């Protein structure tokens, strides 16, 4: 069962999945909960809660969109769920940074941690540092523009298409068309130029690597072999920093495993849950 936004299932619910394992899923930068729905569709038998992050979609508004505030928001969100047992926390891309920071600070509130396409190295220092710096300039310009002009600048379909084409690795024309459509529909549902700029700064300057050594809960990392954001070599280095972690690699896919291989991602998550 999928519960979007900030709707919660009461712990005394008579729903058939009321006693099932809860998974709280956190999406990536500039995305919304829609980006995780394909994976959710394959996670049968669990209670799935997928909020929109602050600053995006129907998410909350914050004074500052730095990592500390994202973690604070997630902590309040988790407490509001009033679950009878700790959930599994799942993050994709930018969401992995938020989830890892949260898991380090509040490990007793979650049972396990799943990080899909984790950000294991700073983008400003990686192989795509030129593109990352150009993107930073793009977002900084947007933050200086008047509100309406800024929205047009930051939601440019040409820019969104470039991002989409760059990240997509599949050769399936229908799937590529679907990915582009999803990005057109949901990639510009940000609240303000501030939320985009500050969120982007977190995504390219902070990493899962900072928190890995202090995360005691069992952790599953799922990476694409062709991921341009965090190269595979950095993922192998990252998994070694966790006290209890395993890494699953999906071949011939990059950063968009949630679109290109959602069934396989769900399969690895299901196996990880059953391995308790």
Distance CA 188, CA 155 (A): 5
β-pair partners for 245: 219
Tokens matching residue 163:
């991002």
Distance CA 38, CA 26 (A): 14
CA-nearest of 77, 79, 82, 23 to 52 is 77
In this prediction, residues 89-116 reach a mean pLDDT of 98
Q: Are the C-beta atoms of 70 and 24 separated by less than 8 Å?
A: no
> Which pLDDT score is estimated for 234?
95
Weakest-pLDDT range from 104-113, 127-136, 262-271? 127-136
Residue 3 has pLDDT above 60, yes or no: no
Backbone angles phi, psi at 33, to 5 degrees: -60, -25
Residue 17 has pLDDT above 60, yes or no: no
Question: Mind listing the pLDDT tens digit for each residue in 50-85?
Answer: 999 999 999 999 999 999 999 999 999 999 999 999
DSSP assignment, residue 56?
A: B
Where do we find the tokens 């936004």?
5
Coil, helix or strand for 258? helix
Residue 252 has pLDDT above 90, yes or no: yes
Question: In the chain, where are the structural domains located?
Answer: 2-274
CA-nearest of 53, 89, 68 to 210 is 68
Share of the chain above pLDDT 90, in %: 76
In this prediction, residues 117-146 reach a mean pLDDT of 84
Classify domain 2-274 by CATH number. 3.40.50.1820
Q: Are the C-beta atoms of 67 and 99 separated by less than 8 Å?
A: no
> Which pLDDT score is estimated for 134?
84
In this prediction, residues 134-146 reach a mean pLDDT of 90
Q: How far apart are the first and last CA of the chain?
A: 22
> Which pLDDT score is estimated for 36?
97
Coil, helix or strand for 84? coil
Q: Taking CA 10 as the corner, what is the angle to CA 9 and CA 12, rounded to the nearest 5 degrees?
A: 130
β-pair partners for 25: 90
Coil, helix or strand for 95? helix
Question: What is the reported pTM?
Answer: 0.91
């Amino acid at each position: 069962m999928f519960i979007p936004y900030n709707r919660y299932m009461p712990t005394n619910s008579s729903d058939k999945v009321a006693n099932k394992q809860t998974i709280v899923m956190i999406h990536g930068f500039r995305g919304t909960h829609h980006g995780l729905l394909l994976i959710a569709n394959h996670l049968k038998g669990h209670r799935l809660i997928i909020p929109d992050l602050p600053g995006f979609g129907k998410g909350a508004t914050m004074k500052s969109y730095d990592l500390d505030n994202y973690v604070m928001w997630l902590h309040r969100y988790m407490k509001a769920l009033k679950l009878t047992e700790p959930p599994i926390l799942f993050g994709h891309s930018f969401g992995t940074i938020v989830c890892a920071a949260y898991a380090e600070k509040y490990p007793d509130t979650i049972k396990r941690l799943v990080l899909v396409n984790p950000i294991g190295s700073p983008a400003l220092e990686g192989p795509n540092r030129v593109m990352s710096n150009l993107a930073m300039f793009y977002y900084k310009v947007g933050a200086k523009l008047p509100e309406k002009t800024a929205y047009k600048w930051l939601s440019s379909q040409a820019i969104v298409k470039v991002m989409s084409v760059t990240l997509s690795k599949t050769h399936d024309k229908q799937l590529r068309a679907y990915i582009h459509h999803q990005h057109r529909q949901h990639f510009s549902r940000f609240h303000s130029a501030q939320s985009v700029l500050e969120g982007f700064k977190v995504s390219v300057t902070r990493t899962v690597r900072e928190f890995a050594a202090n995360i005691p809960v069992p952790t599953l990392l799922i990476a694409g072999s062709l991921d341009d954001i965090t190269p595979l070599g950095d993922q192998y280095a990252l998994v070694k920093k966790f006290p209890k972690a395993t890494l699953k690699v999906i071949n011939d896919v990059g950063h968009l495993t949630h679109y290109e291989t959602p069934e396989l991602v769900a399969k690895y998550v299901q196996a990880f849950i059953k391995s308790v």
